Chains A and B, each alone.
Chain A
Amino acid sequence: MAEQQVAEAPAEQQATAAEWRPTLLAYLCNWCSYAGANLAGASRMPYDASIRVIRVPCSGRVDPLMIYKAFERGADGVLVGGCHLGDCHYSEGNYACQGRMALVKALLAAAGIEEKRFRLEWISASEGSIFQAVVNEMSEQLRELGPFELK
């Protein structure tokens, strides 16, 4: 699955010295963060075009390997968005996600990947503005960090 979806950044957004745009890969839960993103769009809230969204049925679907694979394939940052704790449609998927992502954070730190390149956020379907803020903030941080490369 991830093999096809986590594609290399399209040529048009690869680094040109002047206007480099990071690739922010986002795994968004269908029921909340994805809907939140949709609301941001429908409300015409501008947000950074660096984001590339992969919709997942629940944040509990996000296998840690999917994060590592994204970095291996050239993502500059990865965002995971799920329902607020207590609101998961499968009741505990986001708790499972939270535990796993704590391990992912530890391992990314061991591997030397900057903390700001990875983020877990709880964003509900009504929080379009939070989605906008998170994407903009993270994109800005990725611009400061510059391209990520497993070189």
Chain B
Amino acid sequence: MSNHTDAVRARAKQLLESGEVTRVIGHARGTTPYRSRPHFASSPEQTDALIHDVSCGSNLAVYVSKPKERVAVIAKGCDARSLATIIHEGQAERGNVLILGVSCEGKLDEGRLLRKLDFPPRQVKSVREEGDEVVVEGPAGDVRLPRDDVIMVNCTYCRARTPAVSDELIGEPVPPREEADQYPDLGGLDAMSEAGRAEFWRAQFEKCIRCYACRNACPSCFCPECFVDEYHPQWALHGGGQFRGNWMWNVGRAQHLAGRCSACGSCQRGCPVDIPLMLLNRWMERATNQAFDHLAGMSEQQKQLAALFRKSEAKASEHG
């Protein structure tokens, strides 16, 4: 069960009343019962709008950018991984971020959920969790769906269901999913030939409209000037539908997120054309996990991946 709305509201209210933080970054109800939107509470009254349920998937670490005063962030495990990562990278003082951890058993994937319903989305009256099920209240009563069928696929192999880095925890600790280190999600790509993979990504990247929603949604994409916006050199040719440029963009993005991605899925959730960006992110996570024993944001002491290169044993050269 991860409806933590009451606990989140109560704690947020306390924090603002006591002046411990100047703002609480959380979620509020979105335009439908299965959607949420970010909510920024700067006064005790504004905490009434906070919610925390199965719809609160987006990564809130993206709203933390060099805060001058202390802010609290309602952080699922993946948000906390992102916070630890960007704090380490100098995007915030540790003391200026209160990581209000919440345990989590997975957040909705809107597409997966709606495809399971045989009535139109506007007839969804409410969505709640009961045990291992997500219960959707529709025109003819409750529809019960196994949680794993309607949450983001990345949540089904999450290693941070209880935040690894946090100042407090709301909810009971939940163990990591066993699948996290087995990378079952990569099985499809693993089984393909090289030509098959090239073909697969060609079909995917061709769809990219270069909206950069993936970049905007990602806490680790904070560069003031992204490589894709550079003109000299122009790493990636511009314009959606331009396959070579799209290839450069998506490959470059995956490279830049290697060792810095929290597997939150926000990029993929934001992608309007459903490019399975998590496959690339997880592929790179597996590579850095295996070669450098590195997983982004899983501990506060951890070094940045690039710092491990210094005396890396990862043999990339043929002749030593």
Q: Which residues of A contact B (CB under 8 A)?
A: 1-4, 64-65, 68-69, 72, 85, 92, 95-96, 98-107, 109-114, 119-122, 130, 150-151
Contacts and interface: CB of A to CB of B under 8 A. Distances in A.
A68 B306 contact: no
A25 B311 CA distance: 27
Contacts of B252: 65, 68
Interface stretch (B20-28, B106-114, B170-178, B197-205): B197-205
Given A98-B312, A98-B316, A107-B255, 7 more contacts: A68-B248, A68-B255, A85-B320, A106-B291, A107-B284, A120-B317, A151-B202
Interface in B173-221: 189, 192-202
Interface of B: 189, 192-202, 227, 232-235, 243-244, 247-248, 251-252, 254-255, 258-259, 279-280, 283-284, 287-288, 291-292, 305-306, 308-312, 314-320
Contacts, number: 119
A54 to B, nearest CB: 13
Given A96-B306, A120-B317, A112 B234 contact: no
> Among A2, A113, A150, which residue has the most Cβ atoms of chain B within 10 A?
A150
A97 B254 CA distance: 18
Contacts of A122: 317, 319-320
A30 B110 CA distance: 53
A112 B248 contact: no
A96 B309 contact: yes
Given A99-B292, A113-B198, A122-B320, A2 B254 contact: no
Given A95-B309, A96-B310, A120 B316 contact: yes
Contacts of B247: 72, 111, 150
A107 B288 contact: no
A69 B232 CA distance: 13
B205 to A, nearest CB: 9
Nearest to B282: A110
Contacts of B287: 102-103, 106-107
Closest 6 CB pairs of A and B: A99-B309, A112-B197, A112-B198, A106-B287, A3-B233, A101-B316
Contacts of A119: 318
Given A3-B232, A68-B248, A112-B201, A102 B314 contact: yes
A150 B316 contact: no
Given A2-B233, A69-B233, A69-B248, A103 B320 contact: no
A151 B247 CA distance: 11
Given A69-B235, A100-B309, A103-B287, A111 B316 contact: no
Contacts of B227: 65
Given A69-B248, A150-B247, A112 B199 contact: yes
A121 B255 contact: no
B306 A99 contact: yes
A102 B319 contact: no
A150 B248 CA distance: 10
B308 A130 contact: no
Contact of B194 (A1, A64, A106, A113): A113
Contacts of A100: 309
A130 B319 contact: yes
A98 B247 CA distance: 24
B280 A110 contact: yes
- The interface centre, meaning the residue of B251, B305, B308 with most chain A CB atoms within 10 A of its CB, is B251
A103 to B, nearest CB: 5
A28 to B, nearest CB: 14
A3 B288 contact: no
B255 A95 contact: no
B283 A110 contact: yes
Contacts of A96: 306, 309-310
A150 B243 contact: yes
A102 B317 CA distance: 9
Contact of B233 (A1, A102, A104): A1
Contacts of A150: 243-244, 247
Contacts of A109: 194, 197
Contacts of B235: 2, 65, 69
A113 to B, nearest CB: 7
